[in-house]
Amino acid sequence: MSYVFDPPAVVAVPVTGSESRFPVHRIYCVGRNYVEHAKEMGFTGREPPFFFMKPADAVLYVPEGATGEMPYPSVTADLHHEIELVVAIGKGGRDIKAADAAGHIFGYAVGLDMTRRDLQGEAKKQGRPWDVGKSFDHSAPMGPIRPAAQAGDVGNAAIALSVNGQVRQSSNVSKLIWNIAETIEHLSRLWELRPGDLIFSGTPEGVGAVKAGDLMEGSVGGVGALKVKVV
């Protein structure tokens, strides 16, 4: 068997404390999953969770302790940071009940759902898909995956992001509108989850713009830290 051209490399993220890497299948993202962020985007109340996707090769892997470089994307003048807890699925399934969700989780990582907010805003206004705002190249910077058993109490972890040393986002994963288990229940009704899927679980309030030269430093307690410079 041959291919008409070389197939792209498998996108894979290192696992803390392991020589083996986590091969990425799909990236699912949850929209507006913290109350105060929903408010700052002009919404209130508990709506059912909704999802969008990024391509697997949008991952920009940054080793812990290193500073990653994210190129400022094209066709935007309003690049926003969204710090998020990332859930890595190790065991697939469909119609997974929230009570069983933990058994499907391989581990967790710190990620950024980088957003071309101006293009997303235009898409919302026109009733068009969000892809141009959300699913561009390098739009998913993330750190290594920490196995769930080593991650501590993720459901009550602090989540924060500073830009150039100034805190922009600071919250707690316990403030998720739909917690991780409920998110997996909803998501696995819509798609069959596969090992290798990543779920960006939503961002707390305080999103805002970054420009070339800015340094973003994010963290989720017990999971890790992520440093990315916009270049």
Binding site for Mn ion (CB under 5 A): 82, 113, 203
Distance in Å, CB of 84 to Mn ion, minimum: 6
Distance in Å, CB of 230 to Mn ion, minimum: 17
Q: CA-CA distance, 68 to 143, in Å (whole number)?
A: 9
Kindly tell me which of 15 and 200 has the beta carbon lying closer to Mn ion.
200
Kindly tell me which of 13 and 29 has the beta carbon lying closer to Mn ion.
29
Distance in Å, CB of 113 to Mn ion, minimum: 3
DSSP 3-state of 93: strand
Instruction: Find the residue with minimal CB distance to Mn ion.
Output: 113
Kindly tell me which of 93 and 191 has the beta carbon lying closer to Mn ion.
191
What size, in residues, is the chain? 231
- H or E segment at 219? strand 215-220
Kindly tell me which of 24 and 199 has the beta carbon lying closer to Mn ion.
199
Q: Are 84 and 113 in contact (CB under 8 A)?
A: yes
Distance in Å, CB of 145 to Mn ion, minimum: 18
- Cα radius of gyration (the chain): 17
Longest dimension (CA), the chain: 54
